[in-house]
Structure formats: structure tokens, C-alpha cells
Amino acid sequence: MTGNNNNFIQKLYLAFTLLLLLMVFGTAGFMLIEDYDLIEALYMTIIVISTVGLSSVSEISQETKLFIAVLIIISVGLTTYGLSVVARYVMEGELRHYLKYRKVKKRIVSLKDHVIICGYGRNGQQACVQLAHYKKPFVVIEKDEKLIEKIERDQNILFVEGDATNDDVLAEAGIGTAESLITTLPDDSQNVYVVLTAKGINHDLHIISRASHDRAYLKLKRAGANNVIMPDKIGGTHMASLIVKPDVIEFIDVILGKSDENIEEVNFANNGKKFIGKTIGDIQLQQRSGVNIIGLKKQDGSYQLNPDDHVEITDTTKIFILGCSEEIESALKHLNG
């Protein structure tokens, strides 16, 4: 779509440029043939090109009449060319696409703490579905025309057409104000480049990258990716686990899927600051909302299941709560109330 817009603008610029050159040519011609001054020559040129039919500033010679005929023929050709460019742009729906793209760009500019998804392949599409489910704003970057057409059919997806390895494209997607970035490009080297570029622009960005091979894992981590996911390895592990402990895996899938039961992460640096310095038991989340605290992430990055009520809460503490949507909403209100 961007390429079509650029092509249209280039053709339009060409038409205007040729028109200006024609005016210069006509003005110079009248000055040489009829010895008009600049204003008179320009006036005559505009009259001829616009075909308004006004009278000339003086009697004209046969040479001037021939010159005027040439000007009219050229101006009609240029006008036809310009109108055909605009008509084609409108009839092919490109104008509608252009206006929609401008509207999308305005919406992207207003985003903050959103997620950027690089690549709308199978993994990228699944990421979009999950983020939309959790009402997390996101922007997709894609350069494949067929995938762009697929994205356009969904009115709710904000996107930028272009190469995710390009700094300007990342900037257009709002990387400066983004919270996270997911790169799902099929080429590991491209993912490494995206991670390096994105981290260089926004150092605080949380980056999750796809990897196809084990050797790319360390490269992506060194480049600045916080998490590296290998879909093939995860898929194989998941299938094997369904054989060894099927009910456990299916139960987890239900919780992480679109069921009414959810696991929510609570960061006390953002929620429940008033409880910093107190203990897990002091929060009384289960009594107040019905949720269960099933896990805790410590300052050193380690995890603890079913944390004890005497564990002290710090500004780096994260807890994981399990409950239905209403219970989780009630718990968050209690923490921030």
C-alpha cells in the first residue's frame, strides 16, 4: 500500500513538474517571439494553458499562433495525463487505502505502552489473537503484500507496511513509546538485527524473539532479547507432555486459554504500592476477592510456589493470582483502592 501511494505521488509530482516546465517554456517563447515583458508573457502562457479564452495583450503574429497551438496540444496532453493518474488512483481504491492508512498512522502516534509485532506469519497472527483477547494494544509490522491484504480485512489491527529491520519503520510503529516487541520473522539473522536495532532505540523495551535453531538462541540473548522462543521445540515438548501427563497439560491449557479462569501477574511497583513493606498475609486477597496466590517472583528472579503468608512484599515483588475475571478485577481494585 505504501508503495502504491509513493508511486501515485511520484506520478503527480511528475505532472506538476512538467506543467511548471511548460509554463517556463511558454513564458520564454512569448518573450522571444513577441518581445513581451515577463508579466505579459506569463499572462499569455496561463491563458493558453488554461484555455479560458481571454484575448491576448496585443495583435499576434503567425509564428505566435503556431506557438500557441503547440502549447495547447502539450497542455491538453499533460492535463489528460494528470486526470488519468488521479482517476486511476480513485477507481482502484488506492485513495481509500491511503486515507485509511493515514487514519491508522494517527492512531499509532497516540499509542503508549503498546506491543510491536514484527511479522504477521503464523506465530505473529497467534500473538495478535492473544493480545486482542487481553485487550493489549499492538501494532503489526509486515512487508508481504498478501499478508498486508489479510491484515487490512481486520479493521481492528493497527499496522505499518515495511521492513521491521528498518529504523524508520520501527519509529513509525511507535517504538519510542512501546512497552514490548515480539519479532517472529522466519530468518534468525533478521530477528537478531531487529533486536539490536530496537534495543538501540528503546533500551527499556521488553523483547521476545522467535528462533528456528539452537545456535541463534545465544545470539538473540546477547543482542538484547529478554526471552527467546523456539516454536518447534515447545511444540514437541507440549505433545510429549500430553502423553506423560495429559490432564495436567490440558488443565493448564484451559487456564491459559479463553476460559473464565485466568492467571494474572501483579507487580507491586505498579499495583498495591501501599502494601510494600507488609506481608502476603496482610493483603488478604483471598478473603477480599476470592483469588488464590499461586506463585511469587523474588528479587533475584527465582520463583516460589504457594508463597507463605509471612513473605515480605518489596517494590520488586511479583505475585501470580488465579481466579475468574470478576475475582481478578476485584483483587486489583482492592490492591489499588
Q: Please write the tens of the pLDDT for every residue from 43-78.
A: 888 888 877 665 665 677 788 888 888 888 888 888
Tell me, what's the pLDDT at 11? 72
Class of the CATH domain delimited by 261-336: alpha beta
- b/e for 140-173, b at 16 or more Cβ within 10 A? bbbbeeebbeebbeeeebbbbbbbbbbeebbebb
Tell me, what's the pLDDT at 91? 59
Closest residue by Cα to residue 43 from 32, 59, 60, 55: 55
pTM, rounded to two decimals:
0.62
DSSP character for 140? E
Residue 124 pLDDT > 90, yes or no?
A: yes
Residue 15 pLDDT > 70, yes or no?
A: yes
Report, in this order, helix, strand and coil percent for the chain, each rounded to 5.
55, 15, 30
Tell me, what's the pLDDT at 136? 92
111-235 maps to CATH 1.10.443.10: no
Q: How many CB atoms lie within 10 A of CB 291?
A: 25
Query: Domain residue spans in the chain?
Result: 2-92, 111-235, 261-336
Tell me, what's the pLDDT at 7? 67
Q: How many CB atoms lie within 10 A of CB 233?
A: 13
Tell me, what's the pLDDT at 34? 84
User: What's the Cα-to-Cα distance from 306 to each of 292, 303, 322, 335, rounded to whole Å?
Assistant: 9, 10, 11, 19
| Fold of the 2-92 domain | Helix Hairpins (1.10.287)
